[in-house]
């Protein structure tokens, strides 16, 4: 499988007036992402997740270490070319619109990238269809719900046909319904197109859907593994201030209450199944 992104011992320190104050926002981060993977990055506020996203899209440059995107070392000279192959969606649905209608908004980035008009129209339609917003072409963005706005923002990124889609807490300001809509759209994209996704989140339920999880703490990588491997270390996750998925909390509570359950239950379905088969059938 093709390598999409790799970081080797990447560190970053924000410049500070007071030298004593400056500490590393990122401290020797290394990991690799392969084509088609869905990677979730989790960590509490201030653990360095957004700084990491900014380094990957070249808004900031590492103080130490190297970042390779599509096998090329990211630097000032190839920044624009590399950036044109990445899409990023940020946290606040209200800060990502430039167009006065949904279709203008999605077309904007294409226009900036010099895509000819005849090509723009089908690309805008297809990107909006992929996020199930095709019937909103002429709607004004500010009349949409939060989940719809983020789906349009994702369409804007998709219209550029990126190799890598980065979501920086793209669901964190949404209500549960909006969050579900966005997650379903990303899941379907991944299944149908094999798009590589890097999703920064502090929603551990969302993490369950990823192929691999990177846990950040105080600018360092605390752990990398499959969701199952990561959630086996539930106590450590709680110790660094992360909220475990509901089914895991419930199964640990039931165990504390003397109910004989095996293992960790990452989904409600798993927990319900075990309760049926091993408990109620006794």
Among 38, 40, 42, 43, binds ligand ADP (CB under 6 A): 43
Residue 50 sits in the site that holds Mg ion (CB under 5 A)? yes
Using rule CB under 6 A, residue 45 touches ligand ADP: yes
| 217 is a contact residue toward Mg ion (CB under 5 A) | no
CB of 222 vs ligand ADP, minimal distance in Å: 13
CA-to-CA distance for 53 and 200, rounded, in angstroms? Answer: 8
**Start-to-end CA span in the chain (Å):** 47
Please identify, using beta-carbon distances, which residue of 127 and 200 lies nearer to ligand ADP: 200
Q: At 170, give phi and psi (nearest 5°).
A: -65, -20
Confirm or reject binding of residue 148 to ligand ADP (CB under 6 A): no
From 38, 42, 51, 204, residue interacting with ligand ADP (rule: CB under 6 A)? 51
Contact yes or no for 121/134 (Cβ under 8 A):
no
Calpha distance 229→46 (Å, rounded): 24
Q: What does 40-68 look like in DSSP terms, one character per residue?
A: EEE--TTSSHHHHHHHHTTSS--SEEEEE
3-state helix vs strand vs coil in the chain, percent to 5:
40, 20, 35
Annotate each residue in 125-164 with x if it binds Mg ion (CB under 5 A) or - if it does not, as one string.
----------------------------------------
The reply to whether 199 sits near ligand ADP by the rule CB under 6 A is no
Task: For residue 47, state whether it binds ligand ADP (rule: CB under 6 A).
Answer: yes
- Residue 139 in 3-state DSSP? coil
Residue number of the CB closest to Mg ion reads 50
**Which runs of consecutive H residues, i.e. helices, occur in 75-167?**
79-83, 102-112, 117-130, 146-159
Residue 214 beta carbon to ligand ADP: minimum distance, rounded to whole angstroms: 12
Residue 20 within binding range of ligand ADP, rule CB under 6 A: no
Nearer CB in complex with Mg ion: 49/190? 49
Residues sharing a CB contact under 8 Å with residue 9, sequence separation 6 or more, in sequence order: 28, 29, 30, 64, 65, 66
CB of 168 to Mg ion, least distance (A): 6
Q: How far is the CB of 55 from ligand ADP (least distance, A)?
A: 10
Measured CA distances, 47 to 51, 214, 222 (Å): 9, 12, 11
Applying CB under 6 A, does 62 fall inside the site for ligand ADP? Answer: no
Residues of this chain that bind Mg ion (CB under 5 A): 49-50
Chain contacts with ligand ADP (rule: CB under 6 A): 14, 25, 43, 45-51
């Amino acid at each position: 499988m093709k390598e999409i992104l790799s970081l080797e011992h990447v560190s970053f320190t924000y410049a500070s007036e007071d030298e004593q104050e400056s500490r590393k926002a990122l401290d020797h981060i290394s990991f690799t992402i392969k084509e088609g993977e869905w990677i979730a990055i989790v960590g509490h506020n201030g653990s360095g997740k957004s700084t990491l996203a900014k380094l990957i899209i070249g808004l900031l440059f590492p103080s130490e270490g190297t970042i390779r995107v599509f096998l090329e070392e990211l630097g000032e000279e190839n920044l624009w070319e590399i950036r044109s192959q990445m899409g990023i969606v940020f946290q606040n649905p209200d800060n990502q619109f430039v167009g006065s209608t949904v279709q203008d908004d999605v077309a904007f980035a294409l226009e900036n990238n010099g895509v000819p008009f005849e090509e723009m129209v089908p690309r805008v339609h297809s990107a909006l269809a992929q996020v199930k917003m095709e019937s909103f072409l002429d709607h004004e963005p500010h009349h949409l719900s939060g989940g719809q706005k983020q789906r349009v923002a994702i369409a804007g990124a998709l219209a550029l046909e990126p190799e890598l889609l980065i979501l920086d807490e793209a669901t964190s300001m949404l209500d549960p319904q909006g969050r579900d809509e966005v997650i379903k759209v990303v899941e379907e994209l991944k299944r149908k197109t094999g798009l590589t996704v890097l999703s920064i989140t502090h929603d551990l339920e969302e993490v369950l859907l990823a192929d691999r999880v990177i846990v950040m703490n105080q600018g360092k990588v605390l752990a990398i593994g499959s969701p199952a491997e990561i959630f086996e270390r539930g106590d450590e996750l709680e110790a660094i201030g992360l909220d475990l998925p509901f089914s895991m909390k419930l199964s640990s509570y039931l165990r504390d209450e003397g109910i004989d359950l095996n293992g960790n239950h990452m989904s409600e379905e798993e927990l319900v199944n075990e309760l049926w088969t091993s408990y109620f059938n006794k």
